[in-house]
Amino acid sequence: MRALGIEGTAHTISVGIVEEQGGRCRVLGQATKMHLPGAGKGIHPREAADHHAEHIGVLVEQALQKADVDPGTLDLVAFSRGPGMGPCLRTAATAARAIALRLGTPIVGVNHCVAHLEIGRGTTDAKDPILLYVSGANTQVIGEALGRYRVFGETLDIGVGNTLDKFARERGLPFPGGPEIEKLARGGKTLLPLPYTVKGMDVAFSGILTAAEQYAQQGTPVEDLAFSLQETLFAMLTEVTERAMAHAGKDEVLLGGGVARNKRLQAMVAEMAEARGARWFVPEPQLLTDNGAMIAWTGLVMHKAGVRHALEQTIVDQRFRTDDVEVVWR
């Protein structure tokens, strides 16, 4: 079975084509474009949606070319139904409906957070993992319990990616902030004490930003700041992930989201997992950031399990909860 998926919840518009082979996901082709607001500016939903509308047509063509498949061989079209920014979601959904109608395929709306977990299960050996999902807007610790993906813990204020981005913006570093901070952190030597806010399996980051800003104004080298920021943020994330694993009795951990590309975070999670005799998994980098393949794959496993969405059920849901999805495919 073959599926095309469109991701468009935030600044990224992406088209992925996947195929099932022996229960595993094979990514045939993917084309992605990211809306980058000007320096010092945040993302505006309308502008991002305009960007997506402008590029979606070309991206579909590119993805088909890369995959080297005939559109007629597609069995399913999937799209990100939410959560995300309304205008962006509607743009992606409209494109998906048009393609599904044109090709005469079924259409499935997919939960974006669930897709980050499913692509990990589809492309790695993870079977029943706790997912540490870390992106710009999202920071969640998710795992399956009684037929739903439950959010065991999450950020109480801002996402970890946004925390890194805000710090980067204040320091005049480009967006996204994570990769720059990772580079700088390698040159850091001194660990500065920063607020470490873990409440059970939840985390909070805003206090760290305030403290980092104060250090910066005292002339602290940016390398030391980047180093301390990473060490503190990622220790918090690793700790709540370990808590969720202990609490839910799971012995697998999976990484997802753009921030999961960070090598220091990967190393911490790996070390935590090894210490508890657990296995850890991280999908390929292009499947960590928002991508069409994860939407296509999740749509595919949902469809195989009998999930059918009529056209009028494809209305987007900006606040689509992770645990609103009945996980019938496991």
Partner 1 sequence: MEVTAQAASLVYRGAEAEVVRTEWHGRDAILKRRTAKPYRHPDIDRRLRVARTKEEALLFRAAREAGVAVPGLFDVDMEECALTMEFVPGPMLKAALNEGSDERRRALARAFGRSVAALHVAGMVHGDLTTSNVLVDGDRLVFIDFGLGGKTTEDEDRGVDLHLLMEAMESTHAAHHDLYGVVVEGYREVAPFAPAVEKVVKEIVRRGRYRSEKG
Tell which residue, 113, 28, 111, has the closest CA to residue 70: 28
Nearest-angstrom CA–CA distance, 203 and 287: 25
* Stretch of residues binding partner 1 (CB under 8 A), selected from 73-81, 160-168, 232-240, 293-301: 232-240
Q: Is residue 203 part of the contact set for partner 1 (CB under 8 A)?
A: no
Q: Residue 83 or 129: which CB sits closer to partner 1?
A: 83
Q: Which is nearer to partner 1, 30 or 232 (CB)?
A: 232
Specify the DSSP class assigned to residue 80: E
Alpha carbons 2 and 112: distance in angstroms, whole number: 19
Calpha distance 96→314 (Å, rounded): 10
Q: Which spans in the chain are helix H?
A: 45-67, 86-103, 112-123, 160-170, 177-185, 206-217, 222-248, 263-275, 292-304
244 to each of 28, 96, 155, 255, how far by Cα in Å? Answer: 34, 36, 14, 14
Identify which range of 28-36, 99-107, 239-247, 294-302 contacts partner 1 by CB under 8 A: 239-247
Exactly one of 201, 208, 260, 295 binds partner 1 (CB under 8 A); that residue is 201
Residue with tokens 């005799």: 277
Number of residues that bind partner 1 (CB under 8 A): 49
315 near partner 1 (CB under 8 A): no
- Interface residue with partner 1, options 66, 97, 148, 279 (CB under 8 A): 148
Q: Does 110 bind partner 1 (CB under 8 A)?
A: no
Using the rule CB under 8 A, give the single segment among 23-31, 61-69, 134-142, 302-310 that binds partner 1.
Answer: 134-142
Binding-site ranges for partner 1 (CB under 8 A): 82-83, 113, 137-138, 140, 145-146, 148, 150-157, 159, 191, 193, 196, 198-202, 231-232, 235, 238-239, 242-243, 245-248, 267-269, 271-272, 275-276, 319-322, 324
